[in-house]
Amino acid sequence: MKKLTPNDPEMQSADLVAENVERLKSLFPEAFTEGRIDFEVLKGLLGGHVDEREEKYGLDWHGKRQARRLALTPSTGTLRPCPEESVDWDTTQNLMIEGDNLEVLKLLQKSYANKVKLIYIDPPYNTGKDFVYPDDYRDNIRNYLELTGQVDGEGRRISSNTEASGRFHTDWLNMMYPRLRLARNLLRDDGVIFVSIDDNEICDLRALMDDIFGCENFIANIVWQKKYAVSNDDPGIAPMHDHILVYQRSEKFERNLLPRTDKQKSRYTNTDNDPRGNWSSDNYISNKSRFERPTLWYAITHPKTGEDVWPEESAVWRYSREKHAQIERENRLYWGPDLSYKRPRLKRFLSEVQDGVVPPTWWTFQEVGHNDEGQKETAELIGPKIFNTPKPVRLLRRMLELGCDKNGIILDFFAGSGTTAHAVLDLNKQDGGNRRFILVQLPEPTGQKEYPTIADICKERVRRVIKKLDAEDAGKLDLSDGAKQDRGFRVFKLDTSNLKPWDPNPENLNRTLLDQSDHILPDRSEQDLLFELLLKLGQELTAPLTTRILAGKTVHAIGSGVLIVCLDREITRDQAEPLALEMLAWRRELAPTDATTFVFRDAAFVDDVAKTNLAAILEQNLPASALARIRSL
């Protein structure tokens, strides 16, 4: 039975460096000598694909190397569950996480890698005094605790960047780079990311996204008309728009079409009672000249006058003679009411066109809302001027419609007031979808009594959205054909690991050894430990959890039996065998498809005999096809 410690790789967030090295080793084993990479050999294996120029194209800035290293450094923290602040804790699949998003993204690497369908973020625009992410390269968890006032920071000033440093592009790039790098790992191969930004950092963000996602995965720079009127007191040229950069994870992404509006549908009518249904007329003439396309310059016969009809002198018909003849036979030409048109138009039937509209890069406020609309939506739910620039729900809904299926996971790690969750819940109600959201928000102090932090604003808004939607559906939901829509969320908060780090006192080693006999922090609950195990062993934070009393001990099965945990404080020799046998029986009942990890509290075993016996019984009674790992904390 292996004992898990805070330094054990299994109990840390994903070690991305080690994973990358293993991938390289599997691809290029010849490039490794005594466990080290021989770059000269690797360059030779890669041939002409290695760029050895001194001056290279790309984005570079002071601190990029440290920012890259920070993204690859495993987290030492954990996420502690807060059922009392949650909604429908036992059943929901949605998450709201309080904490520094850099550390949270690290902690999600094992459980959510390649699972997120869509990411939307509205990061700080770097206009001065607008972001509080002074990452500490040595201990980011302590940095976070100090920043949010949870520990004594020895005089650290809890505030945003100064006006001067807030405008430094390098500060902003150092903050954004590791977060985007980690976020990319969470996207599915067919996933997509949308990032809001203004003119101040659009150029740097575009170069940064090219660096991380690859310029070949750029999809669009959407321009959103965020205002409907110019500010008369603006000293310069008044900004009326923001940008939304869109990148795919890979070429497997396929964007959806936008649903047709009632106005767009109204263009299709059936004035001639055509049995194929509503249609709209389209131009039958191409702007190509007859010198470019001579075969498309020909005469057709007007059905009323019998005269030859030619295209305009500077144009041609859109189709060849053969295709035109087919169109005529199929009654797809429209010559106007009473055949009054000089030239025909083409009938396009609604039933035959693609089911939706191709999205443009110009999004007007009439279609997706503006800043004032976002303010009013927030004010209606939690009070006026609570949040400066919340995005309108319609804007987020448009992104979800374009980039996400009805069952996808949506991640927003700059959650702000929670507009993303609002849009997910709203769209699920509208189309019956089961989209899930993961929100991450730093509990930045607001100085307000009612909502002490921005994370508090976010949680309260989502709670009120849920109440509003439930009130609208009261008495209308028919649950006979399925379960109620998921309108809840689990709250977690970033904290230090539940396990004590090994920190020996050389002046009193005996005391250190006694303290480490049980290296679980005394103020942490069994639930805290369970969720740290979920994160560190790669299970989702919403994995199904079942609890039973086996041999007088409380035992938890997680993820249909891939993790079976007993954290009882005492297991004697007499209790070891019946506990092991009942756990095995429960595992057979659960029938997990993956290997099972059994976890116990190491200090619970009264002696090594009890520990050895329990491990032996588990190992000997598992079928050869059922792999298992037996661990203790």
Task: Find out whether 77 and 494 touch, Cβ atoms under 8 Å.
Answer: yes
Q: Is 55 contained in some domain? A: no
Phi and psi, residue 579, nearest 5°: -65, -45
> Where does a domain end: 317, 349, 381?
349
Do 323 and 446 lie in one domain? The reply is no
* d(C-alpha 554, C-alpha 579), whole Å: 10
Give the pLDDT score at 48: 64
Q: Is 227 contained in some domain? A: yes
> Which among 318, 49, 72, 67 has a CA at the least distance from the CA of 185?
72
User: How many domains are there within the chain?
Assistant: 4
DSSP letter for each residue of 258-293: BPPPHHHHTT-B-TT--TT--EEEEE-EESS-TTT-
> Where does a domain end: 460, 495, 530?
495
Q: Give, as one character, the DSSP assignment of residue 256.
A: P
Give the pLDDT score at 400: 98
Do 120 and 206 lie in one domain? The reply is yes
Q: Where in the sequence is the domain holding 395, given as residue range(s)?
A: 82-259+364-473+484-495
Do 466 and 601 lie in one domain? The reply is no
> Where does a domain end: 318, 349, 380?
349
Task: With cut-offs at 50, 70 and 90, classify the pLDDT of residue 158.
Answer: very low
Task: Find out whether 95 and 439 touch, Cβ atoms under 8 Å.
Answer: yes
Q: Is 255 contained in some domain? A: yes
- Angle at 458 (CA atoms; ends 485, 172), nearest 5 degrees: 125
* d(C-alpha 54, C-alpha 41), whole Å: 20
* d(C-alpha 429, C-alpha 590), whole Å: 33
pLDDT tens for residues 414-455?
A: 999 999 999 999 999 999 999 999 999 999 888 889 999 999
- Residue 7 neighbours by CB under 8 Å, 6+ apart: 501, 502
Highest mean pLDDT among 391-400, 472-481, 515-524: 391-400
Q: Is residue 161 scored above 70 in pLDDT?
A: no
Task: Find out whether 611 and 1 touch, Cβ atoms under 8 Å.
Answer: yes
Give the pLDDT score at 27: 76
* d(C-alpha 44, C-alpha 22), whole Å: 19
Give the pLDDT score at 522: 85
Q: What is the pTM of this model?
A: 0.85
Do 164 and 236 lie in one domain? The reply is yes
Q: Is residue 137 scored above 60 in pLDDT?
A: no
pLDDT tens for residues 586-618?
A: 999 998 888 899 999 988 999 999 999 999 999
Alpha helices of 500-605 — where are they, by DSSP H? 509-515, 526-536, 573-590
Do 329 and 316 lie in one domain? The reply is yes
Do 374 and 398 lie in one domain? The reply is yes
pLDDT tens for residues 138-155?
A: 566 767 776 666 665 454
Half-sphere exposure of residue 110: CA atoms within 13 angstroms, side-chain side: 20
* d(C-alpha 632, C-alpha 618), whole Å: 14
pLDDT tens for residues 33-83?
A: 767 887 777 777 676 666 666 666 778 888 899 999 989 888 889 999 999
Give the pLDDT score at 481: 44
What CATH number is associated with residue 447?
3.40.50.150
Q: Taking the mean position of all CA atoms in its chain, how far away is CA 74?
A: 20
> Which among 487, 586, 546 has a CA at the least distance from the CA of 94?
487
Three-state secondary-structure class, residue 226: coil
Task: With cut-offs at 50, 70 and 90, classify the pLDDT of residue 157.
Answer: very low
Q: Is 371 contained in some domain? A: yes
Task: Find out whether 367 and 393 touch, Cβ atoms under 8 Å.
Answer: no
Q: Is residue 89 scored above 90 in pLDDT?
A: yes
Do 375 and 255 lie in one domain? The reply is yes
Asked whether the CA dihedral 285, 290, 292, 296 is positive or negative, the reply is positive
* d(C-alpha 163, C-alpha 593), whole Å: 55
Do 156 and 287 lie in one domain? The reply is no
Do 457 and 606 lie in one domain? The reply is no
> Which among 238, 113, 235 has a CA at the least distance from the CA of 184?
113
The two structure tokens encoding residue 477: 């939901």
Q: Is 510 contained in some domain? A: no
Task: Find out whether 369 and 395 touch, Cβ atoms under 8 Å.
Answer: yes
Task: With cut-offs at 50, 70 and 90, classify the pLDDT of residue 26.
Answer: confident
Give the pLDDT score at 340: 94
Give the residue, 509 or 341, on which the prediction is more confident: 341
- Residue 446 neighbours by CB under 8 Å, 6+ apart: 452, 453, 454, 456, 457
Do 250 and 368 lie in one domain? The reply is yes
Q: Is 374 contained in some domain? A: yes
The two structure tokens encoding residue 59: 């984005």
Give the residue, 261 or 381, on which the prediction is more confident: 381
Do 624 and 520 lie in one domain? The reply is yes
Q: Give, as one character, the DSSP assignment of residue 590.
A: H
Q: Is 135 contained in some domain? A: yes
* d(C-alpha 210, C-alpha 235), whole Å: 34
Give the residue, 461 or 14, on which the prediction is more confident: 461
Q: Is 310 contained in some domain? A: yes
* d(C-alpha 125, C-alpha 122), whole Å: 8
Tell me which amino acid residue 288 is: K
Do 270 and 301 lie in one domain? The reply is yes
